[in-house]
Amino acid sequence: MLPVFLCPPSLMADSDSPSLLQHLNAVYTLACTLVGPEQAQALTQQVFQHAAAVPPRERPENRTLWMLECTLRAYSKHKPAHADTPDLRTAAAQTLVRDTLPAAWAACSPRDRTLLTAHLYLDLSAATLASLVDLSAEDIETAVQTARATLRATLRDMLVGPQRMLVDTAFPDSRLDDSIRDYLESDHGAAPRSLRAAVTRTIQAERTPSSQTREQRSSRRRSQWLKTGGVMAGLLALFVVAWGLHTLWVGSDTAPSSTSTSLVAFSARHADMAQPLLDPATPDSAQSAWQQTQGTSLIVPAVAQAELRRLDVLALDENRPVPVLRYEIVDAETPLYVLAYSYAQLDALAPRVTLSRALRQTLEAEDTFVEQSVDGRAVLLWRVRSRIYVAVFPADARNVRPQRITPAP
């Protein structure tokens, strides 16, 4: 808090003048010159607090002079509360860095820019960043420090003597990191709307031809049946189709439906049949890609001793794709699949694929895991908000256990 001070009575006069507010810009400008913009507001408020307390008739006629002299008097009594309080030197250094950073950034190598962007702006973990730039996790910190030092040296080369000294003494690495984040956020933080729309069309176009091709093949087959088959062939085809649908959706009267149509069995058999949507993928990029392409949110669980590699899509039908997160278990090169079903998808799959009433009731409590196995694969189920997550992995993957999974990091 700045000290409350009094201006000498000799400056006061009986004549009144217009509102004190008209002197605000002059006082603030002088305060910025003295203490920098961050402390200028506090200093200006102190000056006007005192000036407003003086009755109008006791204020001097030359109020501009009075207000500025009061500002100088307040500044002379002000002592920073901390030695590292931001001042005019820091503000000036920040302006220099902000104006010079784009050119210095462009002069750095692509590897240095990648390291600083991934570490400071994308906030990647050390392990993920190490894989990205082909380094060991132990060497990442040194590599980032070297990239930062290279950028600072490039900045210094673009400044003259006094400017260079100002940046060296008043702009530590922590402030340089903040400036890099601000620069990336303002200049490169979001893809243009036109690009977002174009990419969305590209993704949709990549998925559409396969669907059209299937429809065309189906149409040709139907035409061939009509041309070459008689009544008996048509009846036989109808019988086969009806029997197939009966077997698929209802199941045999003699076989237990809980085994052939359970969500656990369906997930175990179809997890590795999904098509890639984003490769490689990180938790943040997977969430963003799913939001942009499907318009729904997706929470990516964290699995200890496993890293997310890819985001896949299991197309149950055109309107209800299921996200499939493909992890790789560390030191085992073994895939782990996590399918995330919405309740709407489960309802649409019934009765072909079902989730038993008992499992639904158990999964009503979040952070509750259900362990099962099918066809030599282990399966874990849990719920986060409006999705049921099903993890599928080899039964002998001993390092995958419920306590190693964080459902909503």
Closest CA to 303 of 388, 228, 409, 374: 409
Closest CA to 91 of 171, 162, 1, 178: 171
How far apart (Å, rounded) are the C-alpha atoms in residues 308 and 127? 12
Residue 361's pLDDT is 84
In tens digits, what is the pLDDT along the chain, a chain of 409 residues?
444 344 444 333 333 445 788 888 888 888 877 777 778 888 888 888 888 888 888 888 887 888 888 888 888 876 554 434 456 778 888 888 889 889 988 888 888 888 898 888 888 888 888 888 888 888 888 999 999 999 988 888 888 888 888 888 888 888 899 999 998 888 877 777 776 777 777 777 766 555 455 555 566 655 554 554 544 544 454 444 444 444 444 443 334 444 457 899 899 989 888 889 898 999 999 998 888 888 788 999 998 888 999 999 988 765 678 999 999 988 777 899 999 998 888 887 878 888 888 888 888 887 789 998 888 888 999 998 888 999 998 877 766 777 788 887 7
CA distances in angstroms from 267 to 16, 58, 297, listed in the order given: 84, 85, 21
Closest CA to 394 of 308, 306, 321, 302: 306
* DSSP string for 127-181: HHHHHHHT--GGGHHHHHHHHHHHHHHHHHHTS-HHHHHHHHHH--HHHHHHHHH
Residue 337's pLDDT is 94
Residue 398's pLDDT is 62
The total number of residues written for the chain in this structure = 409
Residue 332: Cβ-neighbour burial (10 angstroms; 0-12, 13-18, 19+): middle
Greatest CA span in the chain, whole angstroms? 119
- Residue 276 one-letter amino acid: P
Closest CA to 302 of 77, 125, 115, 90: 125
Closest CA to 287 of 408, 148, 130, 376: 408
How far apart (Å, rounded) are the C-alpha atoms in residues 276 and 271? 12
219, two tokens: 């149409």
**pLDDT, tens digit, 9 for 90 and up, residues 216-226:** 556 665 555 45
Q: Could you tell me which CATH class the domain 88-188 is placed in?
A: mainly alpha
Residue 59's pLDDT is 84
Spacing of C-alpha 25 from chain mean position: 41
Q: Partners of 354 in the beta sheet? A: 262
How far apart (Å, rounded) are the C-alpha atoms in residues 141 and 143? 5
47, two tokens: 């000056």
The ranges assigned to domains in the chain are 9-77, 88-188, 193-250, 258-406
Per-position b or e across 258-292, b if 16+ CB within 10 A of its CB = eeebbbbbbbbebbeebeebbeebbbeebbebbee
Residue 221's pLDDT is 59
193-228 and 283-294 helices cross at what angle (nearest 10)? 60
Q: Partners of 24 in the beta sheet? A: none
Closest CA to 132 of 104, 105, 151, 113: 113
How far apart (Å, rounded) are the C-alpha atoms in residues 371 and 264? 10
Residue 341, phi then psi, degrees to nearest 5: -95, 135
- Residue 245 one-letter amino acid: L
**H helix or E strand, kind and range, residue 120:** none
Residue 255's pLDDT is 41
SS3 state at 365? coil
* DSSP string for 328-348: EETTTTEEEEEEEEEHHHHHH
